[in-house]
Structure 1
Amino acid sequence: MAASSTGAARSRATGASGAPSKDVRGAILAEATRLFREHGVDGFSMRQIADAIGYSATTIYLHFKDKNHLMYAVCESGFAEFGASLAAAAASESDARERLRAIGRAYVDFALTHPLHYDVMFIRPKEWAIGPLTDARVGVGPEDPQRADPESFAELVQAVEAAVSARVFEGTIHQGADAREIAMRFWAAIHGVVALAISMNDQMRGFDHDAVRARGEVAIDAALGASR
């Protein structure tokens, strides 16, 4: 009976063709995402996932070779959502200045609603989590011009280029800087607001979402309009 039960479970896990079942993979990812959001990357085990979805731990390893591989897949969805939210924000405004404001607000919103994703993406990046952010080709260093920028950053650079063309930065400290450098400054300003909030939220008061969004608006204004 035990052998029959094990065989049936393996059949459900792999599907009729013997290939790993997409339904099971989806269930694993959904439960891993839930546990990640509740407990952080180090707060749960593969066994807990297996118990929650009613499969053996061995079943998970048919789909993911280890926890790092699983967490990479979990965070891929976070990267995709992050990029999509910035792209949607950029598409929502035709005015170059307001487009940058919208991107900045979307950035803050993502960080506040996905703090654990943001932590592993931008504050304390894990080796397994940074693949979507970088060009992983061997021999291409961070300063190599062949290294591709992350798609979300490329989206920001495009918005800044449009703002430069619209003379948004004339008379500001950004005048004369290239679009990529201005985008870096803009990113740094917004990142500082949300990284501080995520890092200090449980240690001191003043980091409720409304307060952080208000600071985000100040950072956006400063990044856009600081005069010489």
Structure 2
Amino acid sequence: MSVQERKQRERADRERLIVATARELAEQQGWDAVTTRRLAERIEYSQPVLYSHFRGKREIIGAVALQGAAELAVSMRAAASAADGPRDRAAALARAYLDFALRNPAVYEAMFQLDGGLAFAQESTPQPLKDAFAALLENLEEVAGAGVHPGLFIEVFWASLHGLATLTKARRLPPEDAERRTDLLVDRLASL
């Protein structure tokens, strides 16, 4: 291995450490606790080293969001592949999405509520975000219904899931009805 390759590997390892540490700190104490000073202390590097990877907290949030989007896409695809039939796939996708949001509240917040400098629904949208949307599209296109644009259907389905996830996290919905809400959403939006 050349010196250049070793330095690139070490740089990538530091970047992964920064993102993992930010994610862990945010999940434990919230995003307000994630500061460049605190991250530098936790990873045992100086702040200038941290800034050589990310220009600041906004870019770190973006990196966490991209990592989360990739994980969400994998989770939804796995759930859909284990389901039989269009309705069951829709239900499996909805449950995988809501479970991800519940298990990873800070990551979910980075993905959809904080400014990580990421573009959505544009040509410049990063691939992990496109891939998460594609995981829904490739599994729900057939349940969109005749005459309904599949992309538009997926946006409404996703927006509904996001609303459920956000309201559940904020404790605005009774937790005992979570399963019934998911079933109702799937029955209404994914009926064949």
Q: TM-score, normalised by structure 1?
A: 0.67
Question: 1:197 corresponds to which letter in structure 2?
Answer: T
Deviation string, structure 1 residues 127-177 (Cα, Å, up to 9, x no partner):
52x33x44354xxxxxxxxxxx8332233223233336xxxxxxxxx5542
Which residue number corresponds to residue 183 of structure 1?
154
Q: Percent identity?
A: 28
* Cα distance, 1:80–1:99 mapped onto 2, change above 3 Å: same
Q: Which ranges in structure 2 are unaligned for 5 or more consecutive residues?
A: none
More helix by percentage: 2
* Contact 1:190–1:220, Cα closer than 8 Å, also in 2: no
Q: How many residues are aligned here?
A: 186
Are positions 1:219 and 2:185 aligned together? yes
* Contact 1:33–1:74, Cα closer than 8 Å, also in 2: yes
Which residue number corresponds to residue 66 of structure 1?
56
Deviation string, structure 1 residues 186-228 (Cα, Å, up to 9, x no partner):
2233222212112x22xx6734xx54344222322232339xx
Question: 2:142 corresponds to which letter in structure 1?
Answer: A
What CA distance in whole angstroms lies between the structure 2 residues aligned with 1:109 and 1:69?
26
What CA distance in whole angstroms lies between the structure 2 residues aligned with 1:205 and 1:189?
14
* Contact 1:96–1:162, Cα closer than 8 Å, also in 2: yes
What CA distance in whole angstroms lies between the structure 2 residues aligned with 1:18 and 1:99?
41
Are positions 1:126 and 2:115 aligned together? yes
What CA distance in whole angstroms lies between the structure 2 residues aligned with 1:83 and 1:94?
19
* Contact 1:194–1:212, Cα closer than 8 Å, also in 2: no
Are positions 1:135 and 2:101 aligned together? no
Candidates 141, 148, 151, aligned match of 2:131? 151
What CA distance in whole angstroms lies between the structure 1 residues aligned with 2:47 and 2:153?
48
Larger relative CO (CA 8 A, sep 6+): 1 or 2?
A: 2
Which residue number corresponds to residue 161 of structure 1?
141
What CA distance in whole angstroms lies between the structure 2 residues aligned with 1:18 and 1:190?
39
Question: 2:186 corresponds to which letter in structure 1?
Answer: I
Which residue number corresponds to residue 22 of structure 1?
12
What is the CA distance between 1:73 and its match in structure 2? 1.5
* Cα distance, 1:22–1:157 mapped onto 2, change above 3 Å: closer
Runs of at least 4 residues of structure 1 off by over 4 A? 14-20
Question: 1:178 corresponds to which letter in structure 2?
Answer: H
What CA distance in whole angstroms lies between the structure 2 residues aligned with 1:62 and 1:20?
13
Matches within 5 A, 1:60-139: 60-122=50-112, 124-128=113-117, 130-131=118-119, 133-137=120-124
Question: 1:39 corresponds to which letter in structure 2?
Answer: Q
What CA distance in whole angstroms lies between the structure 2 residues aligned with 1:152 and 1:17?
31
SS in structure 2 opposite 1:21?
A: helix
* Contact 2:23–2:107, Cα closer than 8 Å, also in 1: no
What CA distance in whole angstroms lies between the structure 2 residues aligned with 1:18 and 1:80?
22
Q: TM-score, normalised by structure 2?
A: 0.78
* Cα distance, 1:188–1:43 mapped onto 2, change above 3 Å: same
What is the CA distance between 1:17 and its match in structure 2? 4.5
